[in-house]
Amino acid sequence: MIAVYGAGGIGCYVGGRLAATGTPVTFVGRPRVATEVAAHGLRLTDYLGADLRVAEVAFETSPEGAAGADLVLVTVKSAATAQAADELAEVLAPGAVVVSFQNGVRNAEVLRSRLPGRVVAGMVPFNVLNRGGGVFHQGTEGKLDVQRDAALAPYAEAFERAGLPLTQHDDILPVQWSKLLLNLNNPINALSNLPLRDELSQRAYRRCLAAAQAEALGLLGVAGIRPAQLLAVPMERFPSVLRLPDFLFRRLAGKVLAVDPLARTSMWEDLEAGRPTEIDYLNGEVVRLAASLGQTAPVNARLVELIRAAESTRRSWSGPELLRELQR
């Protein structure tokens, strides 16, 4: 049995696709999500036209729901990782494998420090939008990335059948940093209050992202970390592509804009719902890296500040407004 621990957008989508294709899955999450799923079941859709349903969902609201699971997928927000680990430590079955499918680069380390047994670092590269009524929609492309580990072999077929094959890497850290570089757009998208495609279609917003990425790439170079290539363009060149005029960007990087017109970031969802965001584990991670190197990251630090302000007072920023703010 597979347990999804922290069944929100990513957890319900990944676990839902597994359940819809015949794998026994127990979901553990908040009562709010449990009530929604009990009323509607799960419906999993994606930008390619997939439409899967799970009518009867095993959904628990206490850690005991993960007891007896052979594989546990941890999908809680990064700030809740330590608490989730302590809860799982009380119920985890001997020999169970735990996979961190979370944003950021340090969650697997936190889990390993608090849990017995095997913990595998992983990454979900795509965006999931909770449309309400038990509907979870994958709006951008991507499979699932994990650290190479023989313990995952018994589950590979189930993920393949679900349409979410596991791509295994000898070193997951460069992949995690590449995803984090892309996720530096999360606060920009949230502050724009626009769907991803509309935001990325505007050069001013892209220049904001380019500034945040260029700052992070410079620090990664000092730290000796080379991000993996997740896109057709190497990550080191991506800021230059983002700065192109709109007509050239559409021609050279049209695939970036080939996302579902409804796709938004999880940070936008969190702000809309009045929940704390993961800003400290995305742009805040760049700020921490800079501090560890005796340097600063003013662009990413300012984005952290703007999102913290938005957590209490929402406003929409135009591209030129936000760019001026980050250039100050």
180 and 291 assigned to the same domain: yes
Structure confidence at residue 297 as a pLDDT band (50, 70, 90):
very high
Which of 170, 193, 216 is the endpoint of a domain?
170
Q: Mean of the pLDDT values across residues 214-241?
A: 92
Note whether 40 and 17 are within 8 A (CB).
no
For residue 313, what pLDDT is reported?
Answer: 93
Which residue is listed with tokens 């983002």?
A: 242
For residue 323, what pLDDT is reported?
Answer: 98
50 and 186 assigned to the same domain: no
Nearest-angstrom CA–CA distance, 18 and 99: 15
CATH code: domain of residue 222: 1.10.1040.10
Q: List the one residue out of 136, 105, 129, 100 whose CA is nearest residue 285.
A: 105
45 and 125 assigned to the same domain: yes
For residue 41, what pLDDT is reported?
Answer: 97
Q: Mean of the pLDDT values across residues 50-71?
A: 96
CATH code: domain of residue 13: 3.40.50.720
Q: Is residue 254 over pLDDT 70? A: no
Nearest-angstrom CA–CA distance, 25 and 58: 7
Max CA-CA distance within the chain? Answer: 56
26 and 68 assigned to the same domain: yes
- Per-residue tokens: 272: 């809309």
124 and 260 assigned to the same domain: no
Q: Is residue 30 over pLDDT 70? A: yes
Which residue is listed with tokens 């990550």?
A: 235
136 and 6 assigned to the same domain: yes
3-class secondary structure per residue, the chain: CEEEECCCHHHHHHHHHHHHCCCCEEEECCHHHHHHHHHHCEEEEECCCCEEEECCCEEECCHHHHCCCCEEEECCCHHHHHHHHHHHHCCCCCCCEEEEECCCCCHHHHHHHHCCCEEEEEECCCCEEEEECCEEEECCCCCEEEECCHHHHHHHHHHHHCCCCEEEECCCHHHHHHHHHHHCHHHHHHHHCCCHHHHHCCHHHHHHHHHHHHHHHHHHHHHCCCCCCCCCCCHHHHHHHHCCCHHHHHHHCHHHHCCCCCCCCHHHHHHHHCCCCCHHHCHHHHHHHHHHCCCCCHHHHHHHHHHHHHCCCCCCCCHHHHHHHHHC
For residue 182, what pLDDT is reported?
Answer: 92
Q: Mean of the pLDDT values across residues 295-313?
A: 97
Which of 125, 147, 170 is the endpoint of a domain?
170
248 and 311 assigned to the same domain: yes
Q: Is residue 257 over pLDDT 80? A: no
Dihedral angle over CA of 259, 262, 265, 270, nearest 10: -170
Instruction: Quick: pLDDT tens for 159-186.
Output: 999 999 999 999 999 999 999 999 999 9
Structure confidence at residue 251 as a pLDDT band (50, 70, 90):
confident
Percent of the chain with pLDDT over 70: 98
Question: Which residue range(s) make up the domain with 204?
Answer: 175-327
Nearest-angstrom CA–CA distance, 96 and 66: 10
Instruction: Quick: pLDDT tens for 80-139.
Output: 999 999 999 999 999 999 999 999 999 999 999 999 889 999 999 888 988 889 999 998
8 and 116 assigned to the same domain: yes
Q: Is residue 256 over pLDDT 70? A: no
Q: Any idea how long the chain is?
A: 328
150 and 189 assigned to the same domain: no
For residue 64, what pLDDT is reported?
Answer: 96
Which of 170, 189, 212 is the endpoint of a domain?
170
The domain total for the chain is: 2
Q: What is the mean pLDDT of the chain?
A: 94
214 and 272 assigned to the same domain: yes
Q: Is residue 249 over pLDDT 70? A: yes
7 and 154 assigned to the same domain: yes
Q: Mean of the pLDDT values across residues 192-208?
A: 95
Identify any residues that bridge with 138 across adjacent strands, giving them in sequence order. 46, 128
Structure confidence at residue 230 as a pLDDT band (50, 70, 90):
confident
For residue 255, what pLDDT is reported?
Answer: 65
Percent of the chain with pLDDT over 90: 84
Note whether 141 and 126 are within 8 A (CB).
yes
157 and 180 assigned to the same domain: no
